[in-house]
Amino acid sequence: MNKAIVVGSGAGGATVAKELQGIFDVTVLEAGRAFYPFSYNLSTLGKLKKTGLFFDEQLIQLLFPTMKIRKTKDKMILVNGIGLGGTTTISTGNALRMDQDLKNMGINLEDEFAEIYKEIPITTEHQKYWNKTTNRLFEICTQMNLHPQPTPKMGVYNRCIRCGRCVLGCPRDVKWDSRQFLQIAINQGAHLHTDCKAERVIIEDGKATGVMARHGWQTIFYPADLVILAAGGLGTPIILQNSGIECESNLFVDPVLCVAAEWKECLQNREISMPFVVQKEHFILSPYFDFLSFFFNRDWGFPASNIISLMIKLADVNSGSITHKKIDKPLTDIDKLRLNEGVEICTEILTQLGAKRKDIFLGTINAGHPGGMMPLTVQEADTLHNNRLPENLYIADATLFPASLGNPPIITIVAMAKKISKLCAELMETNK
């Protein structure tokens, strides 16, 4: 049986592994290790932050190694998961279909989304568990003609205990993450290597022959007839560059800025993350307790249970790059203008709730949805394959997105990975 190497076990990698195992003999290379939810007592850590010990966001990795923190040269915080399941384990579990730009290019994912809705439980039933502050925010947004919608979530939410730890790893396995697809692949015979960091694809005579990866002190060559990179929007471009394949300075990251106020016993820190969404042209708004800002931003000095916060998630301008040495991702003037527009709307929502404008404060700008450095074009709508790549080397993550979604990308990545899996299966048949 032909061998396929899949790099990464997040939304794209786990999907491809599940779809291709049996057609190929699949091996998944994951740079991280097994995922475990954040186990520390948040109340204790809230008290510890008063000592000043939490002075840099990168310190979170000492407590929660799965959450990888990097900073751009402009000090924006970039967050991604490293471990089985990639960033899906520390996501908020949102299932927002965001393929309109792809559809406009001629990429049809209807069949793939139909498969997803059969395979992954998707629900808005969490709405009946919202606390009174969340319900009041929803009412205010409705009254302001912002047209809020309950966020479809992946998982079985009748088991949710409203612990507020969605982005720290669900302790009750309520939330779906890509480890479930990965386990299906393993049950079907796929091989998994953790703590195995892919460094480059070996290309000979215009064909990918395998992947060089570092495992501990060893560098190991994994031979393959097919290579699929799904190391994420920050990981895949570095592997491509190390392999001699040029990427584009087209990086987007979906910056997040939270607008917050003190609100006694609102208990947002124990609410489902992003329970509803307001869609605007260039950003979304959603209630969201920002743990990074709470622990590391001095303006967030109130008890966690007394902070109410609204997220702005921006569809940023595609302008930036990453190499193994640095991340260059500035916020453009347009980005800043749109963030300010979001701040004004959030401020109005919070004042309608009862907060005073002078008491409203901002969070730390962070981002966690990178992509765009090898964007698909209309010419690649049928193949989903850039002609810079060898015929048997594919990408199956947000690196392919032509522009920022400004929205949670997981199920759109899964749908695209399913489509790519079918194309890879066809490639094998063609080359028999």
Q: Provide DSSP, 71-124.
A: E-TT--EEEEE-STTGGGGGS--B-----HHHHHTT---HHHHHHHHHHS-EE-
Per-residue pLDDT of the chain (432 residues; tens, 9 = 90+): 899 999 999 999 999 999 999 999 999 999 999 999 988 888 777 777 777 767 678 778 877 888 889 888 778 999 999 999 999 999 999 999 999 999 999 999 999 999 999 999 999 999 999 999 999 999 999 999 999 999 999 999 988 988 999 999 999 999 999 999 999 999 999 999 999 999 999 999 999 999 999 998 999 999 999 999 999 999 999 999 999 999 999 999 999 999 999 999 999 999 999 999 999 999 999 999 999 999 889 899 999 999 999 999 999 999 999 987 789 999 999 999 999 999 999 999 999 999 999 999 999 999 999 999 999 999 999 999 999 999 999 999 999 999 999 999 999 999 999 999 999 999 877 776
The set of residues, in sequence order, having a beta carbon less than 8 Å from that of 197 and lying 6+ positions away, is 29, 31, 213, 214, 215
> Residue 151: phi, psi to the nearest 5?
-80, 125
Tally of CB atoms within 10 A around 258: 28
203: left (phi over 0), alpha (psi -120 to 50) or beta: beta
Token pair for 385: 């394959």
Residue 74 has a pLDDT of 79
pLDDT of residue 414: 98
- If DSSP states are collapsed to H, E and C, what string results for 172-195? CCCECCCHHHHHHHHHCCCEEECC
Alpha-carbon span 266 to 133, nearest angstrom: 6
Give the pairing type, strands 255-262 and 361-362: antiparallel
Strand partners of residue 6: 28, 228
- Return the number of other C-beta atoms located less than 10 Å from residue 157's C-beta: 20
Q: Which residue has the tokens 């009041």?
A: 136
Tell me how far apart the alpha carbons of residues 168 and 33 are, in angstroms, rounded to a whole number.
16
- Listed residue (64, 74, 137) closest to 351, CA to CA: 137
What are the Cα distances from residue 334, in Å, to 161, 285, 353?
Answer: 40, 18, 29
Nearest residue to 251 via CA among 235, 232, 233 = 233
CB-count exposure of residue 11 (10 Å: 0-12, 13-18, 19+): buried
| Report field, pTM of the whole predicted structure over 0.75 | yes
What are φ and ψ of residue 391, in 5° steps? -55, -35
Q: What is the pLDDT of residue 111?
A: 98
Treating both helix axes as pointing N-terminal to C-terminal, what angle do 11-20 and 179-187 enclose, rounded to 10 degrees?
20
- Using CA atoms, how far apart are residues 102 and 107, in angstroms rounded to an integer? 5
Q: How high is the pLDDT of residue 277?
A: 98
Contact 15, 414 (CB under 8 A): yes
Within 10 A of 298 (CB to CB), how many other CB atoms are there? Answer: 11
The per-residue pLDDT for 432 is: 67
Sign of the torsion formed by the C-alpha atoms of 364, 368, 373 and 378: negative
What per-residue confidence (pLDDT) applies to 326? 85
Secondary-structure class of domain 50-79+126-168+251-367 per CATH: alpha beta
**pLDDT at position 285, please?**
98
Q: Label residues 388-407 b or e (16+ Cβ within 10 Å = b).
A: ebbebbbbbbbbbbbebbbb
Enumerate the domain spans of the chain: 50-79+126-168+251-367
Reading phi first (left if > 0) and then psi (alpha if -120 to 50, else beta), residue 205 is in left
Q: Are strands 149-150 and 67-71 parallel, antiparallel or unpaired?
A: unpaired
pLDDT of residue 66: 87
Predicted pLDDT at 430:
77
